[in-house]
């Protein structure tokens, strides 16, 4: 009886172990499915993004994904790249609000959900190849590069 009880207990533990791992695998697959759905929903949408660098905001169209990061066509710099900062869907209201802030303030506002209430690490050094544009200069650059910031739509003007 003792051997049967001990064997039965081991079998129950093994079944629980297998059940836990199966449930964990199912949860991981479900999360991956939702992540893929989220990526597909973002594809071809316009976003406003900021990095934790001292630079202009990014106004871009999501054209692809590299791992979980969006590849955007940025209408401010007129280039395509993997974007690793904080972003939100484009709205004219958000765009105009962010233009009133300094680059550091933009990062503090946009990264608040990513950092869960912690301070944002911010690089205050301006890269030599970057100039901080005024709100009017950003709007003009966007229109020149094929983005109507008033309507929130645009097509890249590729000049390679």
pLDDT digits (tens, 9 = 90+) for 84-134: 989 999 999 999 999 999 888 898 888 887 767 677 777 777 777 778 899
pLDDT in tens, 103-115: 888 988 888 877 6
Those residues with Cβ within 8 angstroms of residue 15's Cβ, 6 or more apart along the chain or in another chain: none
Give the C-alpha distances (Å, rounded to integers) separating 151 from 16, 79, 80, 139, 148: 56, 21, 21, 12, 6
Task: State the virtual CA torsion across 114, 92, 70, 112 in degrees, nearest 10.
Answer: -10
pLDDT in tens, 139-148: 999 999 999 9
* pLDDT above 60 for 2: no
Residue 91 structure tokens? 């709205």
pTM above 0.85, yes or no: no
Those residues with Cβ within 8 angstroms of residue 148's Cβ, 6 or more apart along the chain or in another chain: 142, 154
Question: Which residue ranges make up each domain of the chain?
Answer: 1-42, 44-154
Instruction: State how far the Cα of 88 lies from the Cα of 142, in Å rounded to an integer.
Output: 18
Bridge partners, residue 154, by sequence: 147
Residue 46 structure tokens? 């316009």
């Amino acid at each position: 009886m003792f051997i049967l009880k001990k064997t039965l207990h081991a079998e129950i533990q093994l079944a629980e172990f297998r059940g836990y791992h199966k449930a964990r695998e199912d949860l991981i697959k479900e999360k991956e499915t939702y992540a893929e759905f989220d990526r597909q929903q973002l594809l071809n949408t316009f976003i406003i993004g900021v990095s934790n660098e001292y630079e202009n905001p990014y106004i871009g169209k999501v054209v692809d994904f590299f791992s979980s990061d969006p590849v955007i066509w940025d209408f401010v710099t007129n280039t395509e790249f993997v974007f690793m900062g904080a972003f939100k869907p484009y709205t004219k209201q958000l765009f105009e609000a962010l233009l009133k802030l300094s680059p550091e303030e933009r990062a503090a506002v946009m990264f608040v959900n990513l950092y869960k209430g912690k301070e944002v690490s911010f690089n205050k050094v301006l890269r030599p190849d970057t100039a901080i544009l005024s709100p009017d200069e950003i709007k003009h650059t966007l229109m020149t590069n094929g983005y109507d910031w008033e309507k929130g739509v645009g097509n890249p003007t590729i000049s390679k």
